[in-house]
Amino acid sequence: MAATNRSMSSIGFRIMSMMFKIRDLIRPRSDVLNEAGIKPGFSVLDFGCGPGGYILPLVELVGPSGKIYALDMHPLAVHRVKKMATGKGIGNIEAIESDCNTGLPDGGLDTVLLYDVFHDLARPGDILRELHRILKPGGILSFSDHHMKEDEVLERVTGAGIFRFVGKGNKTYSFAKAD
Protein backbone atom coordinates (compact mmCIF):
# COMPACT_ATOMS: atom_id res chain seq x y z
CA MET A 1 0.00 0.00 0.00
CA ALA A 2 2.95 2.36 0.19
CA ALA A 3 3.07 5.40 -2.10
CA THR A 4 0.21 4.33 -4.29
CA ASN A 5 -1.50 6.30 -7.00
CA ARG A 6 -4.71 6.29 -5.02
CA SER A 7 -5.46 6.25 -1.34
CA MET A 8 -7.63 3.56 0.14
CA SER A 9 -10.49 4.24 2.50
CA SER A 10 -10.65 2.53 5.87
CA ILE A 11 -13.51 0.36 4.63
CA GLY A 12 -11.52 -0.55 1.54
CA PHE A 13 -8.55 -1.48 3.71
CA ARG A 14 -10.72 -3.73 5.90
CA ILE A 15 -12.19 -5.48 2.86
CA MET A 16 -8.71 -5.98 1.42
CA SER A 17 -7.54 -7.37 4.77
CA MET A 18 -10.33 -9.97 4.79
CA MET A 19 -9.49 -10.99 1.22
CA PHE A 20 -5.81 -11.36 2.15
CA LYS A 21 -6.70 -13.59 5.11
CA ILE A 22 -8.53 -15.93 2.77
CA ARG A 23 -5.63 -15.79 0.29
CA ASP A 24 -3.14 -16.60 3.04
CA LEU A 25 -5.12 -19.68 4.09
CA ILE A 26 -5.17 -20.97 0.54
CA ARG A 27 -1.60 -19.93 -0.38
CA PRO A 28 0.56 -19.50 2.74
CA ARG A 29 2.93 -16.53 2.61
CA SER A 30 5.80 -18.76 3.73
CA ASP A 31 5.73 -20.32 0.23
CA VAL A 32 6.60 -16.92 -1.23
CA LEU A 33 9.12 -16.00 1.47
CA ASN A 34 11.10 -19.23 1.03
CA GLU A 35 12.31 -17.89 -2.33
CA ALA A 36 13.81 -14.77 -0.72
CA GLY A 37 16.60 -16.68 1.07
CA ILE A 38 15.92 -15.05 4.44
CA LYS A 39 17.98 -16.50 7.28
CA PRO A 40 18.04 -16.15 11.08
CA GLY A 41 19.47 -12.80 12.12
CA PHE A 42 18.49 -11.00 8.91
CA SER A 43 17.05 -7.49 8.86
CA VAL A 44 14.08 -7.34 6.50
CA LEU A 45 11.76 -4.59 5.29
CA ASP A 46 8.26 -5.46 4.06
CA PHE A 47 7.59 -2.38 1.90
CA GLY A 48 3.84 -1.90 1.45
CA CYS A 49 3.06 -4.41 4.19
CA GLY A 50 -0.71 -3.90 4.10
CA PRO A 51 -2.41 -5.86 6.88
CA GLY A 52 0.80 -7.76 7.69
CA GLY A 53 0.30 -11.14 6.05
CA TYR A 54 4.04 -11.70 5.70
CA ILE A 55 4.97 -10.56 9.21
CA LEU A 56 4.44 -13.75 11.25
CA PRO A 57 6.15 -15.99 8.68
CA LEU A 58 9.03 -13.47 8.68
CA VAL A 59 9.28 -13.73 12.47
CA GLU A 60 9.88 -17.47 12.07
CA LEU A 61 12.56 -16.93 9.43
CA VAL A 62 14.59 -14.13 11.06
CA GLY A 63 14.26 -15.50 14.58
CA PRO A 64 14.76 -13.46 17.73
CA SER A 65 18.11 -12.09 16.55
CA GLY A 66 16.63 -10.64 13.34
CA LYS A 67 14.67 -7.46 12.77
CA ILE A 68 11.51 -6.84 10.75
CA TYR A 69 10.42 -3.45 9.48
CA ALA A 70 6.89 -3.17 8.13
CA LEU A 71 6.19 -0.03 6.11
CA ASP A 72 2.89 1.20 4.74
CA MET A 73 1.31 4.56 4.01
CA HIS A 74 -2.07 3.52 5.41
CA PRO A 75 -2.42 4.21 9.14
CA LEU A 76 -4.61 1.12 9.62
CA ALA A 77 -1.86 -1.10 8.21
CA VAL A 78 0.70 0.35 10.60
CA HIS A 79 -1.74 0.06 13.50
CA ARG A 80 -2.52 -3.56 12.63
CA VAL A 81 1.16 -4.55 12.51
CA LYS A 82 1.85 -2.81 15.84
CA LYS A 83 -1.16 -4.53 17.40
CA MET A 84 -0.02 -7.90 16.03
CA ALA A 85 3.49 -7.44 17.46
CA THR A 86 2.20 -6.32 20.86
CA GLY A 87 -0.49 -8.99 21.04
CA LYS A 88 1.97 -11.78 20.26
CA GLY A 89 4.76 -10.32 22.38
CA ILE A 90 7.14 -9.95 19.44
CA GLY A 91 9.75 -7.30 20.10
CA ASN A 92 11.73 -7.33 16.86
CA ILE A 93 9.08 -5.70 14.64
CA GLU A 94 8.98 -2.00 13.87
CA ALA A 95 6.08 -0.48 11.92
CA ILE A 96 6.74 2.61 9.80
CA GLU A 97 4.07 4.88 8.34
CA SER A 98 5.42 6.39 5.12
CA ASP A 99 4.82 6.57 1.39
CA CYS A 100 8.50 6.34 0.43
CA ASN A 101 11.19 7.34 2.94
CA THR A 102 11.95 4.56 5.38
CA GLY A 103 14.06 6.52 7.85
CA LEU A 104 16.38 3.51 7.99
CA PRO A 105 20.18 3.83 7.81
CA ASP A 106 22.15 3.36 4.61
CA GLY A 107 23.14 -0.22 3.81
CA GLY A 108 21.54 -1.81 6.85
CA LEU A 109 19.10 -4.38 5.43
CA ASP A 110 19.67 -7.88 4.14
CA THR A 111 16.36 -8.17 2.28
CA VAL A 112 13.56 -5.93 1.09
CA LEU A 113 10.19 -7.39 0.12
CA LEU A 114 8.29 -5.50 -2.56
CA TYR A 115 5.23 -7.67 -3.08
CA ASP A 116 2.08 -6.85 -5.03
CA VAL A 117 2.40 -3.08 -4.76
CA PHE A 118 4.79 -1.87 -7.47
CA HIS A 119 2.15 -1.59 -10.20
CA ASP A 120 0.30 0.95 -8.08
CA LEU A 121 3.16 3.16 -6.89
CA ALA A 122 2.94 6.87 -7.62
CA ARG A 123 6.75 7.32 -7.48
CA PRO A 124 8.35 3.98 -8.33
CA GLY A 125 11.75 5.50 -9.17
CA ASP A 126 11.97 7.28 -5.81
CA ILE A 127 11.05 4.08 -4.01
CA LEU A 128 13.60 1.97 -5.89
CA ARG A 129 16.30 4.53 -5.02
CA GLU A 130 15.27 4.40 -1.34
CA LEU A 131 15.34 0.60 -1.33
CA HIS A 132 18.74 0.63 -3.02
CA ARG A 133 20.02 3.04 -0.36
CA ILE A 134 18.97 0.87 2.59
CA LEU A 135 20.07 -2.52 1.21
CA LYS A 136 23.45 -3.90 2.23
CA PRO A 137 25.94 -4.74 -0.49
CA GLY A 138 24.84 -8.23 -1.50
CA GLY A 139 21.34 -7.63 -0.14
CA ILE A 140 18.32 -8.81 -2.09
CA LEU A 141 15.23 -7.02 -3.34
CA SER A 142 12.60 -9.77 -3.49
CA PHE A 143 9.90 -8.69 -5.93
CA SER A 144 6.50 -10.02 -6.88
CA ASP A 145 3.62 -8.30 -8.62
CA HIS A 146 1.02 -10.43 -10.34
CA HIS A 147 -0.30 -7.32 -12.13
CA MET A 148 2.86 -7.10 -14.24
CA LYS A 149 4.36 -9.29 -16.97
CA GLU A 150 7.93 -10.54 -16.63
CA ASP A 151 9.42 -8.22 -19.24
CA GLU A 152 7.77 -5.22 -17.56
CA VAL A 153 9.11 -6.28 -14.13
CA LEU A 154 12.65 -6.64 -15.44
CA GLU A 155 12.53 -3.37 -17.39
CA ARG A 156 11.08 -1.27 -14.59
CA VAL A 157 13.27 -2.60 -11.78
CA THR A 158 16.54 -2.67 -13.70
CA GLY A 159 15.86 0.29 -16.03
CA ALA A 160 17.57 2.94 -13.90
CA GLY A 161 20.70 0.80 -13.57
CA ILE A 162 20.65 0.61 -9.77
CA PHE A 163 19.42 -3.00 -9.56
CA ARG A 164 20.44 -6.07 -11.52
CA PHE A 165 18.38 -9.20 -12.02
CA VAL A 166 19.83 -12.22 -10.22
CA GLY A 167 17.12 -14.86 -10.47
CA LYS A 168 13.54 -15.94 -10.73
CA GLY A 169 11.67 -18.35 -8.51
CA ASN A 170 8.17 -19.73 -8.92
CA LYS A 171 6.60 -16.68 -7.27
CA THR A 172 9.30 -13.99 -7.02
CA TYR A 173 12.11 -12.21 -8.83
CA SER A 174 15.38 -11.41 -7.05
CA PHE A 175 17.42 -8.28 -7.67
CA ALA A 176 20.71 -7.11 -6.19
CA LYS A 177 22.30 -3.66 -6.05
CA ALA A 178 24.04 -2.98 -9.34
CA ASP A 179 26.93 -1.06 -7.81
Give residue 8's identity as a one-letter amino acid code.
M
| 2 in any annotated domain | no
Condensed to tens digits (0 to 9), the pLDDT of residues 75-121 reads 988 999 999 999 999 999 999 999 999 999 999 999 999 998 999 89
Cα–Cα distance measured from residue 58 to residue 44, given in angstroms and rounded to the nearest whole number: 8
- ∠ CA 62-126-80 to the nearest 5 degrees? 45
Beta bridge partners of 74: none
What pLDDT sits at residue 145?
93
Average pLDDT, stretch 51-59? Answer: 92
What gap in Å lies between CA 127 and CA 4, rounded to an integer? 11
Tell me the mean pLDDT in the region 135-156.
96
Is residue 154 exposed (0-12), middle (13-18) or buried (19+ Cβ within 10 Å)?
middle
CATH code of the domain containing 99:
3.40.50.150
pLDDT reported for residue 11: 72
170 in a structural domain: yes
pLDDT of res. 116: 87
Q: How many domains does the chain have?
A: 1
Asked whether residue 4 is assigned to any structural domain, the reply reads no
Structural domain for 143, as ranges = 10-177
Please report whether residue 166 resides in a domain: yes
